[in-house]
């Protein structure tokens, strides 16, 4: 594509060099640059792409987008000077990929909890209904049945466009995508054409990054602020932030609720560890997912399918077949009827929700042992809250390592202990080694007792210092409960 066309709608300050040159590809990673490519020098939190300009030129860059001209200018190269390279990248990408998000039904989900579940359930549902679709999520990315490893909740904007192009090329009609607050703040979804945007809920999370809850909330709100007037904003009416999310949107607002009148409503009739009986649009339906929060997820999925024009009976039939996404309320059973549950719950609200569900089902008051840790280099303020929630709703609690990353595990656990009252301290055991913590829980349980292994869910590794060590909660718990 001609550089001149690539710069359409880009707010540049000036151009030094020739605009009428052909660009083969675009990238902000100098290592991926080849002959006649455009290099965008992004200034990020941890690195500055401007220091890699020489590397990009050496690899074949013919044009470079910069915030400031380098001291050394390369002959016969074009320099585009802009105020913010990160902000310009979405416009350049949109031009280069010819606004391909308009060629697929794009459905985005934002919120503190539920993003992965809603996206995964939508992809499952549409696959069952015979509709080829794609998925961009924390767990993995998918193009139809093809699985692609995921490194972020929401990929960078160039990866998104590349995956969308592959989806369109593979005749996918729909793409279901998680939209994180980091992605919104870093312009990773800017310029994409969403047909439906879903708000699940908003609770304490990522305050290490956003600093204040109000900032976190407003970043989430920005997703709905920039929707087109022909899009739909699907909002969870039972969350107190729903009104705020929709107050400035041009999109058509729709609400879903379990507690009040809304466009889409649902009622829980009963549930156990095998699933939930619900009434949705006056239809009784058994689903294989457990808990109020999962019913919210299913209701959002139902609403999306209906808004996209699928017949109600067909949608309900296939919703009853949906399985829990990996690492979300995954059940491990033993011969002695011990129930093990692996869940990604890593926020106070998510942990409280899952423990409340377990307590509701546990009517005979069997022992509940919760194994929980908190991630290093992440929101420290939630650590004592997580501990308090676990202690309040469990018989015993084992504090252990989650992903300590570059923090001292002892320090993380000591910060968790701040949330433990004197009366609760007797129910807490500290075992840093996660495998030993699981072994201890399995040794403490008797017939019909329950183990909740929370925090890491689908993850197949532990992050210790700069290393990723293989570790799978579900696999380890299954092995240890096999003969229990």
Is there a contact between 152 and 87 (Cβ–Cβ < 8 Å)? no
% of the chain with per-residue pLDDT over 70: 98
Bridge partners, residue 191, by sequence: none
Is there a contact between 306 and 122 (Cβ–Cβ < 8 Å)? no
Q: What is the mean pLDDT of residues 463-468?
A: 90
> Helix, strand, or coil here: 386?
helix
Residue 149: predicted pLDDT? 85
Is there a contact between 257 and 267 (Cβ–Cβ < 8 Å)? no
| 86's tokens | 């990160």
* Residue 209 confidence (pLDDT) above 90: no
449 burial type by CB count under 10 A (0-12 exposed, 13-18 middle, 19+ buried): buried
SS3 content of the chain, % helix, strand, coil (to 5): 35, 25, 40
Q: Integer distance in angstroms from the first to the last C-alpha of the chain? A: 63
Backbone φ, ψ for residue 152 (5° rounding)? -135, 155
Q: Please, which pLDDT band fits residue 204 given cuts at 50, 70 and 90? A: low
Q: Please, which pLDDT band fits residue 44 given cuts at 50, 70 and 90? A: confident
pLDDT in tens, 322-355: 999 889 999 998 888 999 999 999 999 899 999 9
Is there a contact between 213 and 220 (Cβ–Cβ < 8 Å)? no
Residue 119: predicted pLDDT? 97
Residue 249: predicted pLDDT? 98
**List of residues 6+ apart from 58 with CB closer than 8 A:** none
376 burial type by CB count under 10 A (0-12 exposed, 13-18 middle, 19+ buried): buried
152's enclosing H/E stretch is none
Is there a contact between 397 and 453 (Cβ–Cβ < 8 Å)? no
CA-based nearest residue to 307, from 362, 364, 256: 256
**Parallel/antiparallel/unpaired status of strands 26-27 and 37-40:** parallel
Is there a contact between 131 and 174 (Cβ–Cβ < 8 Å)? yes
> Helix, strand, or coil here: 91?
helix
Residue 206: predicted pLDDT? 54
Domain architecture of the chain: domains with CATH: 3-96 (3.40.1390.10), 100-319 (3.40.1190.10), 330-481 (3.90.190.20)
CA-based nearest residue to 478, from 378, 335, 379, 377: 335
Residue 208: predicted pLDDT? 60
Report how far residue 358's alpha carbon sits from residue 349's, in angstroms, rounded to the nearest whole number: 14
pLDDT in tens, 48-91: 999 999 999 999 999 999 999 999 899 999 999 999 999 999 99
pLDDT in tens, 407-447: 999 999 999 999 999 999 999 999 999 999 999 999 999 99
* Residue 205 confidence (pLDDT) above 80: no
Residue 139: predicted pLDDT? 83
Report how far residue 9's alpha carbon sits from residue 89's, in angstroms, rounded to the nearest whole number: 11
Residue 207: predicted pLDDT? 59
* Residue 255 confidence (pLDDT) above 80: yes
Report how far residue 437's alpha carbon sits from residue 67's, in angstroms, rounded to the nearest whole number: 50
Report how far residue 131's alpha carbon sits from residue 121's, in angstroms, rounded to the nearest whole number: 13
Report how far residue 39's alpha carbon sits from residue 61's, in angstroms, rounded to the nearest whole number: 6
Is there a contact between 118 and 198 (Cβ–Cβ < 8 Å)? yes
Mean pLDDT score across all residues of the chain? 94
């Amino acid at each position: 594509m001609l550089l001149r066309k690539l710069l359409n709608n880009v707010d540049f300050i000036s151009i030094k060099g020739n605009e009428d040159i052909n660009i083969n590809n675009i990238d902000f990673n100098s290592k991926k640059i080849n002959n006649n490519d455009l290099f965008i020098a992004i200034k990020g939190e941890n690195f500055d792409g401007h220091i890699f300009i020489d590397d990009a030129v050496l690899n074949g860059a013919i044009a470079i987008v910069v915030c400031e001209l380098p001291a050394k200018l390369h002959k016969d190269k074009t320099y585009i000077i802009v105020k913010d390279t990160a902000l310009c990248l979405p416009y350049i990408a949109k031009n280069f990929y010819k606004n391909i998000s308009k060629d697929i039904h794009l459905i985005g989900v934002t919120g503190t909890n539920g993003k992965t579940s809603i996206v995964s359930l939508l992809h499952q549902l549409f696959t069952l209904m015979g509709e080829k679709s794609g998925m961009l999520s924390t767990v993995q990315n998918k193009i139809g049945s093809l699985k692609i490893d995921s490194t972020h909740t929401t990929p960078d904007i160039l990866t998104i466009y590349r995956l969308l192009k592959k989806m369109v090329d593979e005749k996918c009609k729909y793409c279901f995508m998680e939209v994180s607050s980091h992605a919104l703040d870093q312009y990773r979804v800017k310029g994409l054409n969403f047909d439906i945007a879903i708000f699940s809920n908003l609770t304490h999370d990522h305050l290490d990054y956003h600093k204040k809850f109000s900032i976190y909330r407003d970043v989430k709100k920005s997703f709905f602020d920039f929707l087109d007037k022909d899009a739909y904003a699907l909002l969870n009416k039972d969350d107190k932030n729903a009104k705020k999310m929709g107050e400035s949107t041009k999109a058509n607002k729709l609400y879903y609720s379990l507690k009040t009148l809304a466009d889409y409503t649902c009622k829980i009739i009963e549930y156990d560890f095998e699933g939930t009986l619900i009434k949705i649009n006056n239809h009784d339906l058994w689903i294989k997912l457990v808990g109020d929060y999962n019913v919210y997820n299913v209701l959002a999925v139902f609403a999306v399918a209906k808004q996209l024009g699928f017949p109600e009976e067909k949608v309900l039939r296939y919703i009853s077949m949906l399985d829990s996404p990996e690492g979300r309320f995954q059940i491990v059973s033993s011969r002695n009827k011990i129930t093990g549950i692996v869940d990604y719950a890593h926020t106070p609200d998510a942990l409280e929700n899952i423990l409340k569900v377990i307590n509701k089902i546990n009517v005979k008051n069997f022992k509940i042992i919760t194994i929980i840790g908190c991630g290093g280099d992440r929101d420290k303020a939630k650590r004592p809250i997580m501990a308090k929630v676990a202690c309040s709703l469990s018989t015993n609690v084992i504090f252990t390592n989650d992903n300590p990353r570059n923090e001292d595990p002892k320090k993380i656990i000591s910060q968790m202990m701040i949330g433990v009252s004197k009366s609760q301290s007797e129910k807490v055991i500290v075992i840093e080694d996660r495998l030993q913590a699981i072994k201890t829980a399995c040794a403490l349980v008797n017939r019909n007792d329950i183990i909740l292994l929370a925090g890491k869910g689908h993850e197949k590794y532990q992050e210790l210092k700069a290393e990723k060590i293989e570790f799978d909660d579900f696999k380890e718990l299954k092995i240890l409960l096999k003969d229990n």
